[in-house]
Homo-oligomer: A and B are copies of this chain.
Amino acid sequence: MKYNKVNERIIRRLKKIVGERNVTTDPEKLEIYSHDEEGHPRVEVMPEVVVFPETTQQVSKIMKLANEELIPVTPRGAGTGLSGGAVPLYRGIVLSLEKMNRILELDEKNLTITVEPGVVTGEIQKFANRHGLLYAGDPCSGDSSFIGGNVAENAGGNKVIKYGPTGSHVLGLEVVLPNGEVTFFGGKRVKDVTGYNFVQLMIGSEGTLGIVTKIVLRLLPLPKYVVDLLVPFKTMKEAIDFVPIIVREGKIVPTSIEFMDRPSLLLTEQFLNAKLPYDDAEAQLIIELEGNNKSAVEDDYERIGNLCFEHGALEVFVADNRNTRERIWRIRKSIAEAVNALYPANCLEDVVVPTSNIPELMREVDEISRKHNVKAISYGHAGDGNVHVTFLKDEKDSEEVWIKKLKAALEDLYSITKNLGGTISGEHGIGLKRRDYVELVLDKAQIELIKSVKRAFDPNLILNPGKIVRFE
């Protein structure tokens, strides 16, 4: 791909579109926009210019200009991505959506909320809650990530088994196409078979097909009662085998079914400087239940609790108030922080396998760990088979050795995941990080379809080039 450089004339035109204050070429500022939160190693590329449009019209004009001048544009949300999706690989323009951060409308009659892409997801949740409603999208990064980024990555999180990933809540999208045209896919409706489902095609397309400038989200009733169970199991197999039993015999789809392996727990203990109960158990489940009827929620957790004991749980800790609930989730949510604090060089994965294959995956991860002599911990979303295998750099290893070991370990992890009927990314995206592994899990026909659909939307390949698949 051959792109043009951002010259003075382009800068002047950009300034004319978004105003002087919304264009920066200051190297210190550009550096912030050269990477996302991908682990270590990560790719960093300095953009030539960063623009901060405030309206759809401005985004449209920027795209029209870039498309005519053949300048690559990389859209960016909060920069909290984990797969290098917001890295401006071919330099050019980074189009930051941070100034398009308004909640535009709460429609209490149709139970929708319409927002700009730069709103922090947690703000949408809080706003809905204040009106007695729930925005059920809940990525773990919700306190910092933008809804636009959630849409671009089809962000998941802890509540996907009950509510689905981000895409399940999106009814409509205003989109600026790569040539600057503005269109609107979908609308305030859960049913729509007028043409192809471009709403869902946009979701998870990692900013390669268009720039989302407005999002219509569906809202649900806010549950009043929430209970969490922390359940240690002697073996990983017992823990995972229990997951479908919750649904089949427990007759319920919980809000969350999370798991942590023993190394994750030990690491978190070390980080929190605390001793946790049953830290010799091979696996811990967190099961979250919720509802609006107190006695029904109580019935649910008693039933699930009894089932736990019947199926080998060592203990069932029940947290039915905010304080105890937060204590349980603190463990789960501190894992990533503990990893980053104790192993600043690490690689966080998000492979996904059919849930029943998690124990086999865990055995294979142990094997990979031994084979390549690289530490690994695993935790994540047991309910949907999405496992955060995380490789940790041993401080004794040189940078070069770590990169070599990691590459070999990732290749094995991805191959095994594929063999177990899974895929290499459940919620973080392909971006740059996994681009060269896509062919492991998608066949040639699919790669060709990705390329031709990309060209259908973006014939000049100017939007977020170099992501998901290679064109050259």
Contacts and interface: CB of A to CB of B under 8 A. Distances in A.
A284 interface: no
Nearest to A222: B251
Contacts of A455: 452, 456
B445 A192 contact: no
A415 interface: no
Contact of A355 (B109, B164, B168, B446): B109
A244 B110 contact: yes
Nearest to A199: B200
A197 B423 contact: no
Contact of A450 (B196, B252, B293): B196
Contacts of A422: 187, 189
Interface string A182-207: 01110111111111111011011110
B133 A248 contact: yes
Contacts of A352: 189, 191-192
Contacts of A203: 197
Interface stretch (A64-72, A154-162, A322-330, A364-372): A154-162
A299 B203 CA distance: 38
Nearest to A133: B248
Contacts of A168: 164, 168
Contacts of A200: 167, 197, 200-201
Give the number of copies in the complex.
2
A89 interface: no
B296 A430 contact: no
A111 B194 contact: no
A220 interface: yes
B189 A425 contact: no
B426 A195 contact: no
A427 interface: yes
Nearest to A223: B251
B384 A244 contact: no
A430 B189 CA distance: 17
A194 B424 CA distance: 7
Contact of A445 (B183, B196, B356, B445): B183
A427 B189 CA distance: 11
A360 B426 CA distance: 42
A119 interface: no
A15 B200 CA distance: 39
B446 A198 contact: yes
A224 B196 contact: no
**Sorted from nearest, which 10 A-B pairs have the closest CB atoms?**
A200-B200, A452-B456, A191-B426, A296-B296, A109-B356, A188-B354, A293-B296, A221-B251, A194-B423, A181-B445
30 contacts: A109-B356, A110-B354, A110-B385, A111-B244, A111-B247, A112-B354, A132-B248, A133-B248, A160-B190, A188-B385, A189-B353, A189-B385, A189-B426, A190-B384, A191-B426, A191-B427, A192-B425, A193-B206, A193-B426, A193-B429, A194-B423, A195-B442, A196-B205, A196-B449, A197-B200, A197-B204, A221-B251, A221-B252, A291-B296, A456-B456
Interface of A: 107-112, 132-133, 153-154, 156, 160-161, 164-165, 167-168, 177, 181, 183-185, 187-198, 200-201, 203-206, 209, 220-224, 241, 244, 247-248, 250-253, 291-293, 295-296, 299-300, 352-356, 381, 384-386, 421-430, 434, 438, 441-443, 445-447, 449-450, 452-453, 455-457, 468-469
